[in-house]
């Protein structure tokens, strides 16, 4: 083969490999998106089912409400959505739509859990966490790590994270209900906003009731939010 033909062939083969790899990469990305969608569907079905049960049987024994595994699923979903966001970028259309759905599911779970708390006399601790990935919050990644550690130590704590700059109007409503300002990272604990990066010990101090909870070393199951 003449050298110049070989240069051309090498280019064609390399380009084919490149295109092939791009297609494979896209295929796996789409698989991920559909996996997330199916989890979201299943969670939303679970929430709907719990809400319906809750509405139908105001007198239902709390034991029967059975959404004990929901928190765990929501956590997994959160990890997957944030993985996809770091892989595809915050501006990706699929990522934006998945994040919106995820935020709505979180809010629904939050409302349901609050209702159940009232009815069943539970004492879960809720933390609302507002962050930004737009590059204007250098401490957000560290704050996220602190909250992950918090959840590992205290599986009863329910952390709901929301992108402050996201376009979901329900999140905006949450922000205005609790008066969360544009000073990120922001936490809402016991209905009060707290601003800035805090070490784990300081976050724990915001929730005195944690002292009475079993830490993860004693807990047998993670993700059970009933706190009974």
Partner 1 sequence: MNPVFSIVMEAFLFVSLYIQVFLIITLFEHREALFRSKEKGARRKEQGGRSKEIGEGRKEAESVPTVSIIVPCFNEQATVVGTIESLKRLRYPADKLSILAVDDGSTDDTWSYLERYAADPQVRIFRKENGGKHTAMNLGIAESRSDIIGCLDADSFVHAEALSRMAPLFADPRVMAVTPAIKVRAPQTVLEHIQYAEYNIGIFLRKMYSVFNAIHVTPGPFSLFRRSVFEQVGPFKSAYNTEDLEMALRLHSHNCVIENAEHAYVYTTPPATVRALVKQRVRWTTGFLLNVRDYRRLFFSRKHGQIGTFTLPAGVISLVTVLFFAGYAAVDAATTTADSLSRWYLVGWQWHWQWPSFQPFFIDTTVVRLLTFALVVLALAFLFFGKRMATGSWKPSRDMAYYTIFYGFIAPVWVAISWGRALTRNVGSWR
User: Which listed range, 113-121, 126-134, 139-147, 207-215, lies at the site for partner 1 (CB under 8 A)?
Assistant: 139-147
SS (H, E, C) 24-71: HHHHHHHHHHHHHHHHHHHHHHHHHHHHHHHHHCCCCCHHHHCCCCHH
How far is the C-alpha of 25 from the C-alpha of 21, rounded, in Å? 6
Q: Does 97 bind partner 1 (CB under 8 A)?
A: no
Q: Does 216 bind partner 1 (CB under 8 A)?
A: yes
Q: Which CB atom, from 129 or from 171, has the smaller least distance to partner 1?
A: 129
User: Which listed range, 44-52, 103-111, 126-134, 144-152, lies at the site for partner 1 (CB under 8 A)?
Assistant: 144-152
Q: Does 21 bind partner 1 (CB under 8 A)?
A: yes
Size of the site for partner 1 (CB under 8 A): 35
Among 66, 179, 196, 199, binds partner 1 (CB under 8 A): 199
Q: Does 80 bind partner 1 (CB under 8 A)?
A: yes
| Nearest by Cα to 129 from 208, 194, 202 | 194
Q: Does 219 bind partner 1 (CB under 8 A)?
A: no
Residues in the chain, total: 228
How far is the C-alpha of 42 from the C-alpha of 61, rounded, in Å? 24
Q: Does 142 bind partner 1 (CB under 8 A)?
A: yes
Q: Does 211 bind partner 1 (CB under 8 A)?
A: no
Q: What φ, ψ does residue 138 adopt, rounded to 5°?
A: -60, -25
Q: Which residue has the tokens 């997957």?
A: 80
Residues whose CB falls within 8 Å of the CB of residue 227, separated by 6 or more in sequence, listed in order: 122, 123, 124, 156, 213
Q: Which CB atom, from 11 or from 49, has the smaller least distance to partner 1?
A: 11
Q: Which CB atom, from 61 or from 91, has the smaller least distance to partner 1?
A: 91
């Amino acid at each position: 083969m003449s050298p110049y033909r070989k240069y051309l062939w090498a280019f064609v083969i390399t380009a084919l490999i490149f295109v092939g790899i791009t297609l494979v990469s896209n295929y796996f990305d789409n698989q991920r998106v559909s996996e997330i969608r199916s989890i979201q569907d299943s969670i939303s079905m679970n929430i709907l089912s719990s809400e319906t049960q809750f509405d139908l049987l105001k007198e239902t024994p709390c034991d029967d409400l059975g959404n004990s595994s929901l928190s765990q699923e929501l956590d997994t979903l959160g990890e997957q959505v944030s993985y996809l966001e770091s892989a595809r970028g915050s501006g990706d259309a699929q990522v934006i739509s998945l994040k919106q759905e995820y935020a709505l599911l979180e809010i629904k779970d939050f409302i349901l859990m609050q209702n159940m708390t009232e009815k069943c006399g539970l004492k879960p601790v809720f933390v609302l966490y507002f962050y930004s990935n737009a590059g204007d919050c250098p401490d957000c990644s560290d704050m996220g790590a602190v909250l992950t550690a918090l959840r590992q130590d205290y599986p009863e704590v329910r952390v709901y994270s929301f992108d402050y700059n996201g376009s979901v109007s329900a999140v905006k409503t949450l922000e205005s209900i609790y008066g969360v300002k544009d000073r990120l990272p922001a936490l809402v604990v016991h209905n009060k906003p707290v601003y800035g990066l805090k070490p784990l010990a300081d976050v724990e101090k915001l929730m005195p009731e944690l002292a009475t909870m079993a830490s993860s070393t004693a807990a047998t199951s993670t993700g059970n939010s009933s706190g009974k």
